[in-house]
Amino acid sequence: MVTDTYLTQARAAFLAALAEPEHDWTLTSLEQRLLDLYTLLVLVKGKQCSTEDVHNAWTMALQRERLSNSAPVPFSQLEVSIAALHVPYRDAIRTAAHQLVGVL
């Protein structure tokens, strides 16, 4: 079984950029889903990833887990302080994508 793929490399780069160690065994299903979506953003959006992209991934994960009783709020309607919560993840996605240029 191949364990080191471009997907695991992108995931590891994201976690390193976020400065959080990888511990699959402690991730909740929501955290695992978010990590998968953020890894996908590293690969498909890369350095062009926006805070809105991160918000949309987060909203999709919440809706999938049915953890929100309210309707999703579009990024454009978020308060600035709430939108700012997505910035560290956007920055980590961009950093990971930058580090993977030429590697993947």
For residues 47 and 98, the answer to whether their CB atoms sit within 8 Å is yes
pLDDT at 4: 81
Residue 94 lies in a domain: yes
Q: Per-residue pLDDT for 104 more than 90?
A: no
Distance CA 83, CA 54 (A): 10
Q: State mean pLDDT over 56-64.
A: 88
Residue 72 lies in a domain: yes
pLDDT at 27: 75
Residue 1 lies in a domain: no
Number of structural domains (the chain) is: 1
Residue 17 lies in a domain: yes
Residues 6+ apart with CB under 8 A from 51: 75, 83, 86, 87, 90
The range of the structural domain enclosing residue 96 comes to: 6-100
pLDDT at 62: 85
What mean pLDDT value characterizes the chain?
Answer: 87
pLDDT at 28: 83
Task: Give the residue, 28 or 98, on which the prediction is more confident.
Answer: 98
pTM: 0.85
- pLDDT digits 0-9 by tens, 67-87: 656 678 899 999 999 999 999
